[in-house]
Structure 1
Amino acid sequence: MQWLLIYRFLIALPLASTLVPIALPTAYLWLVDTIALRRGTWVIENGTKMNLQLWAGFEVEEALFFLVTNLMVVLGLSAIDNAVALFEYNAFISTDAVGQMPSILQLIAPFLKSSHQYDTTVLREISQAVSLLQKKSQSMYLGSAVFEGQLRLDLIALYAFCRKADDLIDDAPDRKTAQYWIEQCEKALDLRFKLKESTLDDAGAYEILTKSIPQPLHTAIHLLPASRLPKEPLYSLLKGFEIDLKFDAESNCFPITTEDDLDVYAYHVASTVAILLLELVFCHYPMPVSETERLQVISAGECMGKALQYTNIARDIVRDAAIGRVYIPTSWLAKENLTPSMVIDQPRNPQLATLRRRILDKADMCYQATQKAIDRLPSNVRGPVRATVMSYMEIGQMLRENEGRILDEKLKVPTWRRLKVAWIAMSM
């Protein structure tokens, strides 16, 4: 019965994914059972066996038992993996939110269809989105991995859009090109939300979308789960990118002059993403709370986003200076007898270590303010949200461990350390 349900899936898998997990446990069990039978740890009585041996001391019944058992285990796990994947695919391409994991009947239903039609474009694009996060954002990649189901795929699509838009604008060769990409992102969002009632496998909607926007944005904007997101935070995110374009070291123009300017910038480029994450959580797992309580959670999410952005700024002082940007408020620099231009010229100035610590303190204050709000989230997402935030905040901890030094390269938290933090967060 398992074979009838998943034979197409099994045939498509590499042999290493099926034969190895069957063969290795079977060989191990054959070995230890042979030793046990030869030692007399147990015996098979005459009359209950065929008296055929695979080799000296090892009955064929024992060999067949372990082989068939491992075969059934591997086929069963493969069937579950395939069923969940099919369910999540159908949920992801839809315009609705499915919330909880499906029942057994819902998992079996896709196998009972006469044919399986899946949009290879969607499958390719979600693979590209995962690769983009894995390469460009370790924290968000790990964070998405601890969520589950349709919510996980929605978050991958959301993070991929934010990452792609940021890269297109930051990597633009000049200000004019960067402004062009902001305009194209706005145009793409306008069109995506007009088509938000179309499923991802709607070929007509996909053609309209891809014909109207540049190719580099195709994947990011097509996957964006517009039917389950508010659009205002996404447009606000683009305003944050516009602030980046105001930096002009040659004209001595640095828009982050006060701490309030820093807060506004952090809201646009980071709080908006946190708000979108929470909106997806509310969409998939509706909370029985009043509107006032819901807004309180959203407000805490804004603070959480700022904590991550402040950490990001503290880490990237040298890298930002290399592209003519100084996010440390000018008013803070003045108290240290520094100017933004001096930071551009000498980004490794030891005096900046004090200001970096001040930014990290600000990040920690925002982080601490979010803890109670996380505890009020649905249990399904409480651990994953905490793991995502704690993983990113570990960057700040590593910066403090390097107290007094301004690092030249982008600091990355080792994978083992991220996994340790995620394990602790998921266990809280």
Structure 2
Amino acid sequence: MNQPPLIEQVTQTMALGSKSFATAAKLFDPPTRRSTLMLYAWCRHCDDVIDGQTLGEGGTQHQVADAQARMLHLQIETRRAYSGAHMDEPAFRAFQEVALTHHLPQQLAFDHLEGFAMDTRDERYNSFDDTLRYCYHVAGVVGLMMARVMGVRDEAILDHACDLGLAFQLTNIARDIVEDAENGRCYLPRSWLDKAGLRSEQLADPQHRAALAPLAARLVSEAEPYYQSARSGLPDLPLRSAWAIATARGVYREIGVKVQHAGPRAWDARQRTSKGEKLALLVKGAGMALTSRVSRPQARPVGLWQRPR
């Protein structure tokens, strides 16, 4: 059976895997959008593999029970992609295209894989800085790679891109606390749990929602200065890219607001933005992108977590 063209496969991956970002991705110019879809497909694939999905495609699919073996597979295939070798898996063909076209540093790709390795090791996070370190690997690095796809090379501007990834992931953690707990994972700092009188194994229990809600709200509040920093990076992006990023920023930030406002009911249903809300945020993002052409950006807030250089 013939496979659909690669661009169709990665477009479907985005549509199914991230409805929040799929709307914003349509705003990029065609070359940037293509690279964005290619990068997302690889990130999504790596995540699925670590969560126990199959490797390969078609008749070559096979289940690998050992998480460490799955991690090694991703590392080997990523190195092969950088070497220019022929890639069988669509996600790695996609990644090879974007990585070699935009000269993405290998260190960034392997920093991203380290985030998945942290999950395979069942790491626990004692402090908020530990949580931010995880956020850096799974999302901040993606912000750095995306910024490079958009032509950014200035380290100060890359800081803003990383901050947006951190904000996105903090929002995701707040939204998904219960779902993650059901899968045996907890990204909340242990110090926060101790102060609230909670244990990680209790987080999926509905009777603890009242104690859990303030911790989710705190995560959302902690994300805010990172969202603020991300806005300051818009003037240095091409206009259409600024529009896309401003829209994505608005969509994810609104999800956090919903989690915060829902309180103990935040996990009765998955928090998301409606089509109408996305449209309104798209319009608002356009205004923010246009304003960024003429307004002077604010300095990066003092005291934010600093990515490794």
* TM-score range for the pair, normalised by the shorter chain length: 0.7 to 0.9
**Counterparts of 1:345 and 1:336 in 2: how far apart (Å)?**
15
**Counterparts of 2:134 and 2:196 in 1: how far apart (Å)?**
22
Q: Which residue of 1 aligns with 2:172?
A: 312
**One of 68, 92, 95 as aligned partner of 1:179:** 68
Cα 1:418/1:171, change in 2 over 3 Å: farther
**Counterparts of 1:346 and 1:380 in 2: how far apart (Å)?**
43
Query: Is 2:160 the partner of 1:160?
Result: no
Per-residue displacement from partner, 1:138-185 (whole Å, max 9, x unpaired)? 122112111012111000000111011111212459995332222111
Cα pair 2:210 2:263 within 8 Å, conserved: no
**Counterparts of 1:310 and 1:422 in 2: how far apart (Å)?**
22
Shift of residue 366 of structure 1?
1.1
Shift of residue 426 of structure 1?
1.5
Cα pair 1:236 1:268 within 8 Å, conserved: yes
Letter in 2 for 1:342: Q
Per-residue displacement from partner, 1:225-249 (whole Å, max 9, x unpaired)? 12112221111111111111222xx
Letter in 2 for 1:185: L
Query: Is 2:77 the partner of 1:188?
Result: yes
**Counterparts of 2:50 and 2:15 in 1: how far apart (Å)?**
20
Cα pair 1:307 1:364 within 8 Å, conserved: yes
Identity %: 27
**Counterparts of 1:404 and 1:295 in 2: how far apart (Å)?**
40
Q: 1:10-409 maps to which residues of 2 (within 5 A)?
A: 124-172=5-53, 176-195=65-84, 208-210=86-88, 218-224=89-95, 225-227=98-100, 228=102, 229-247=104-122, 255-282=124-151, 294-345=154-205, 348-409=208-269
**One of 277, 280, 290 as aligned partner of 1:420:** 280
**Counterparts of 1:143 and 1:231 in 2: how far apart (Å)?**
26
TM-score (norm 1): 0.61
Q: Which residue of 2 aligns with 1:34?
A: none
TM-score (norm 2): 0.83
**Counterparts of 1:301 and 1:345 in 2: how far apart (Å)?**
36
For the residue of structure 1 that corresponds to 2:150, the secondary structure is helix
**Counterparts of 1:307 and 1:394 in 2: how far apart (Å)?**
12
Shift of residue 347 of structure 1?
7.4
- Single out whichever of 326-335 and 171-180 deviates more from structure 2: 171-180
Cα pair 1:348 1:406 within 8 Å, conserved: no
Q: Which residue of 2 aligns with 1:55?
A: none
For the residue of structure 1 that corresponds to 2:267, the secondary structure is coil
For the residue of structure 1 that corresponds to 2:210, the secondary structure is coil
For the residue of structure 1 that corresponds to 2:6, the secondary structure is helix
**Counterparts of 2:75 and 2:37 in 1: how far apart (Å)?**
20
**Counterparts of 1:148 and 1:129 in 2: how far apart (Å)?**
16
**Counterparts of 1:243 and 1:347 in 2: how far apart (Å)?**
29
Per-residue displacement from partner, 1:30-57 (whole Å, max 9, x unpaired)? xxxxxxxxxxxxxxxxxxxxxxxxxxxx
Letter in 2 for 1:411: Q
Cα 1:160/1:172, change in 2 over 3 Å: closer
- Alignment gaps of 5+ in structure 2: 55-62, 289-309
Cα pair 1:350 1:406 within 8 Å, conserved: no
What do you get for the CA RMSD once the two structures are aligned? 2.2
- Single out whichever of 309-318 and 389-398 deviates more from structure 2: 389-398
Letter in 2 for 1:319: E
For the residue of structure 2 that corresponds to 1:187, the secondary structure is helix
Alignment: residue pair count: 275
Shift of residue 361 of structure 1?
0.3
**Counterparts of 2:49 and 2:208 in 1: how far apart (Å)?**
27
Per-residue displacement from partner, 1:167-222 (whole Å, max 9, x unpaired)? 12124599953322221111111111110xxxxxxxxx5xx322xxxxxxx11110
Q: Which structure's relative contact order is higher, taking Cα pairs within 8 Å and 6+ residues apart?
A: 2
Letter in 1 for 2:121: K
**Counterparts of 1:296 and 1:345 in 2: how far apart (Å)?**
43
Which of structures 1 and 2 has the bigger CA Rg? 1
Cα pair 1:325 1:344 within 8 Å, conserved: no
Letter in 2 for 1:276: M
Shift of residue 311 of structure 1?
0.1
**Counterparts of 2:114 and 2:47 in 1: how far apart (Å)?**
12
Cα 1:134/1:156, change in 2 over 3 Å: same
Letter in 2 for 1:209: M
- Alignment gaps of 5+ in structure 1: 1-119, 196-204, 211-217, 248-253
Q: Which residue of 1 aligns with 2:293?
A: none
Shift of residue 411 of structure 1?
2.2
- Single out whichever of 342-351 and 156-165 deviates more from structure 2: 342-351
**Counterparts of 2:193 and 2:116 in 1: how far apart (Å)?**
23
